Amino acid sequence: MTGVAFHGSYDEALAEASRRERPILIMFEAPG
Amino acid sequence: MDTVTYPDAEVQQFLAERFALVRLSLADRGESSRALIRRYRVLWSPGFVVLHRGETELRRFIGFQRPRDFLAELRIALGKVLLLERDPVGAEAEFREAADVEPPAPVSAEGLYWAGVAAYLQEKRPLEFLRDYWVELGRRFPESRWWTHADVFRDM
């Protein structure tokens, strides 16, 4: 648990970004 | 990031209040994730991309970020968002925060550069607003590449 609420899909983040007028931060992480 | 930066209370609050967040593994086989990985051509992890309105890439950075440095990166991204949203006053404040973090973050000089731009872009501001920031940039960060980009006032 990181304490940060990431979406698991881009579409979910895009919907939130549109609804709340926010930029999107995508974090690409290493496998595993 | 999971053990140092994301557990940081200030990072958590900042992310929760200012961004829509998505986390993808470079090994993800899902079609939409693969499309994003291809679209942004991510070469290393962790990799971070900030998008405005879901389409315009405003910032990209890679590698482990300590909380202070991560917040400074994100403030510069937010400053650019606010410039695009025609809010140079808000943008200047974000850039200034990135510039003034103590001890300085790796992107503090860049923050000061953009703070000058945002100050100048405010209504009816004379060029002195930009010059004052960039003179400060040369004084505080003379080894920075951002000072080389700002060194246009030396002979004026």
Report the CATH number that the domain containing residue B101 is assigned in CATH: 1.25.40
Q: Which residues from A are below 8 Å from B when comparing CB atoms?
A: 2-14, 16-18, 20, 22-32
Within a domain: B2? no
When pLDDT is cut at 50, 70 and 90, the band that residue B35 belongs to is confident
pTM: 0.90
Asked whether residue B156 is domain-assigned, the answer is no
Number of domains chain B is built from = 1
Q: Please tell me the predicted confidence (pLDDT) of residue B61.
A: 95
Residues 6 or more apart whose Cβ sits within 8 Å of residue A30: B25, B26, B45, B46
Q: Tell me how many domains chain A contains.
A: 1
User: What integer is the mean pLDDT of B115-121?
Assistant: 94
Q: Residue B123, SS3? A: coil
The answer to whether position B3 is within a domain reads no
* pLDDT of A28 strictly over 70: yes
Q: How far apart are CA A23 and CA B18, in angstroms?
A: 8
Interface list for chain B against chain A, based on CB atoms closer than 8 Å:
1-2, 6-7, 11-12, 15-16, 18-27, 30, 32-33, 36-37, 40, 42, 45-54, 58, 74, 77-78, 81
Range of the domain at B139: 9-150
Owning domain of residue A32: 1-32
